[in-house]
Amino acid sequence: MRPLLKIFFTGMLVSFLGSLPLGTLNIAAMQISVSDGIEAAMWFSFGSLLVEIGYVRLSLVAMDWIRKQEKIFRILEWVTLLIVVALAISSFYAAMHPGDQKNVVLSSALPKFLLGAVMCAVNPVQIPFWFGWSTILFTKKVLLPRNDHYNSYIIGIGLGTFIGNCVFIFGGLLIANKISNNQHILSWIIGGIFTITALLQIWKMIKKKDPAHLTGKPEESIPAFEKELID
């Protein structure tokens, strides 16, 4: 049982820490919690979480195939860029119209679960991230090609992502309550974050880093305490 627990907690820790840096999905979940409520934000998170788990499972069983899909990644990068730009414009629009704090993209009629799934599906950043981590865990023999290992790993990842999203969902509400009479400030901040995300996406596309390159030496970027966990 100990190996399964180690795999579970490793997946949960890596997923939680990976969810904390500002990104398209966690910031979107935060803005949805402010404009549409906690339930809507939770459904959005569940949708994105389900797709992320699917990508992890795919990375575990089809690593060689994933490495060869450079054209697909290029298309997804452009789609992601367009979505982030639309989110930034919508956030700035909401900031300039204080009477309506809803983002026209995130508060669309599309069910939040489906919206989260779609936004996660077209975001290729997580694929090389989990590709690299899975490779490390296979190399260190923490993770073995067995269904019980895969299931424990994926459950831990799902829980870690959910906890990370909750930090943004409830943190966004806390910030909104603190500035209840100036919520347009939050829209300006979120719009700025989406703009920075779009610029970073453009920079990555210009650098033309494919999935194989992104996962070439993933161990170099692992904090010491995480290395101790998986050793």
pLDDT the model gives residue 212: 43
Question: How far are the Cα atoms of 15, 21, 144, 151 from residue 111, in angstroms, in the given order?
Answer: 25, 26, 37, 28
Q: Can you read off the two tokens belonging to residue 222?
A: 């692992």
pTM: 0.69
> What per-residue confidence (pLDDT) applies to 133?
81
How long is the chain? Answer: 231
With beta carbons less than 8 A apart as the criterion, state whether 11 and 152 touch: yes
Give residue 215's pLDDT.
38
Predicted pLDDT of residue 183: 63
Residue 83, phi-psi category: left (phi > 0), alpha (psi -120 to 50), beta (remainder): alpha
Query: What gap in Å lies between CA 56 and CA 130, rounded to an integer?
Result: 6
Residues of the chain with pLDDT under 70: 1, 62-70, 72-73, 76, 97-105, 124-125, 179-184, 186, 208-231
